[in-house]
Structure 1
Amino acid sequence: MTQIIYDGTYEGWLTAVFEIYEYKLEDIVFAKNEASAALLFSTSHHVITDESKANRVLSGLKKRLSAEGFAALYKAFLSDVNEIEEIMLRFAKHVLSSSKNVEEDFSNNAVWDLRKATRLTRKEAHRMEAFVRFKLTKDELYYAIIEPDCDVLPLIENHFKKRYADQRWLIYDTKRKYGIYYDLENTSTIQLQFNPGASSSKFLTEICDEQEEFFQELWRHYFTHVNIESRKNMKVHLQHMPKRYWKYLTEKIPNIKKEAR
């Protein structure tokens, strides 16, 4: 067994695919950044991301895939599904070994597994576009905290850049410990030490604009009054808005000060 150790980036994975072919490596397991201690008897192959190698793999895949299928491979990578790199490798090998398009070849497990991972990422990105809730800080920065199942920040970046082009904003993924920041002109990827209590009442009082609490309460009031109690269906509600998202949704966070009174 060969353990492929790469930097965790899409370009790093593509470089790894090139070297798997180059060195005729077999029985592959991927590891990000460092070797897995669980694989004691495996040999290790360290991959240094190489843009030219990555582009050669991309070129080969692009010739054999539709535009949608080509984009799906990247979406699958962002899914964070267990063993997704191995699934993608099997898919890539199937694509590169065939003279015709294999995207609909669901008799192949890798094709089907990749399709499921892609759908998961697409669904999570769509939810994040709907569930992001910004808060305004005293220095006029709108920030939002998310914790999605998939690494969707690269997919939702353009949506928010177009929708909120006239304000500075930061969307931070606490699960992956990085965020995207928009400065009214460009977006950039940032890493920072983020306060885990960023949704607490005390934290909001310290950093948020004076009117922020008022607007949050206004949104809760609106959300409460548009609900029709007699038509309440929690099963359907949870299907569209799973509980794992609630801790960052303004309408689901009670007003602590109000409850204290």
Structure 2
Amino acid sequence: MSIYIFDGTMTGLLSCIFRAFQFKEFDVQVSTDANVQTGLFAEVIDVASNDEHAQRVWQGLKLKASDSAFKQFYYAFLSEQQQAFQHCFNFAIYVFQQQRDVSKNYGHADVLGMSQWAKQVGREKHRMEAFVRFKKCQDGLFISLVSPDFNVLPIIERHFKARYQDQRWLIYDEKRNFGIYYDLHKVHQVQMDAGAIDRQTASGHSQSFCIELDDEEVLYDQLWKDYFRSVNIEARRNMKLHVQYVPRRYWRYMNEKTL
């Protein structure tokens, strides 16, 4: 058995798939952990990211897999989980070794496993699109800090670009130290010093930034809280059901949940 170590990028994973076929090594474990535990006869191989190899595999998957399976492959990769990486690798090997389209054969463990991870990432995507809240800065930039379980920023940018076309905004992923910034024309990936931004208040509920907020931001914040309270029917409050649809870990993004 061989263990392929890659850098955690999509290019790296696709390069692992290319190498597997290049050397006819299909009993392979893929990992981003250089210190992964190995068996007695396991061979550890560092696989360098190769853009040309990755592109060949990427185009091949487009031809061999259905559109939905191709999307699931990408979503599962964005989970950043070792198990999902393994499912994606095994899925690609399985698809390339078959003459017909088997990308929807959910009886295969890796097809099913990949789709399950993709479903979790898709669920996180929809929740981010629903629960992200912005604060307005004095320079007109709208900013929000998030910390999603999975790397969903690349797949939520289309939603926010379509919804907020007339304002500049920045959504920054604290966990992964990068963000997506819309400049009224295009969406760019940016990196910045997260230490310059307060992640939360001591209460652990609200976002608070070390930048100059717009003077009316506090007013708009209070107006939203007043509206939320006015439409809420206290007698019909069902916290168990509420938490089911709005998990507590998302409350930090929501103005109405701040004290």
Amino acid in structure 2 at the alignment position of 1:197: D
* Structure 2 equivalent of residue 127 of structure 1: 127
Amino acid in structure 2 at the alignment position of 1:157: E
Q: 8 Å contact 1:30–1:85 — kept in the other structure?
A: yes
* Structure 1 equivalent of residue 222 of structure 2: 217
Offset of residue 206 of structure 1: 5.2
Q: Where do 1:172-191 residues align within 5 Å?
A: 172-191=172-191
Q: Where do 1:88-167 residues align within 5 Å?
A: 88-167=88-167
Task: Write the deviation string for residues 135-169 of structure 1: whole angstroms up to 9, x where unpaired.
Answer: 01122211111111111101001111111112111
Offset of residue 101 of structure 1: 1.9
Amino acid in structure 2 at the alignment position of 1:244: R
**TM-score, normalising length from structure 2?**
0.89
2:34 is equivalent to residue 35 of structure 1: yes
Which deviates the most, 36-45 or 185-194? Answer: 36-45
Over the aligned positions, Cα root-mean-square deviation in angstroms equals 2.1
Which deviates the most, 12-21 or 57-66? Answer: 57-66
Task: Write the deviation string for residues 195-214 of structure 1: whole angstroms up to 9, x where unpaired.
Answer: 46244389548521111111
Distance across 2 between alignment mates of 1:25 and 1:212: 58
- Say which of 230, 240, 250 aligns to 1:235: 240
Amino acid in structure 1 at the alignment position of 2:74: Y
Which deviates the most, 85-94 or 103-112? Answer: 103-112
Task: Write the deviation string for residues 166-225 of structure 1: whole angstroms up to 9, x where unpaired.
Answer: 211110111222111111112111222214624438954852111111111111111122
Amino acid in structure 1 at the alignment position of 2:30: F
Q: 8 Å contact 1:6–1:46 — kept in the other structure?
A: yes
Offset of residue 37 of structure 1: 5.2
Offset of residue 252 of structure 1: 0.9
Secondary structure of 1:124's partner? helix
Identity %: 38
Secondary structure of 1:83's partner? helix
Give ranges in structure 2 of 5+ residues lacking alignment. none
Closer/same/farther in 2, CA of residues 27 and 229 from structure 1, 3 Å limit: same
Closer/same/farther in 2, CA of residues 245 and 202 from structure 1, 3 Å limit: closer
Secondary structure of 2:194's partner? coil
Amino acid in structure 2 at the alignment position of 1:162: A
Distance across 2 between alignment mates of 1:177 and 1:165: 24
Amino acid in structure 1 at the alignment position of 2:233: I
Offset of residue 99 of structure 1: 1.7
**TM-score, normalising length from structure 1?**
0.88
Corresponding pairs, count: 253
2:3 is equivalent to residue 20 of structure 1: no
Distance across 1 between alignment mates of 2:210 and 2:155: 32
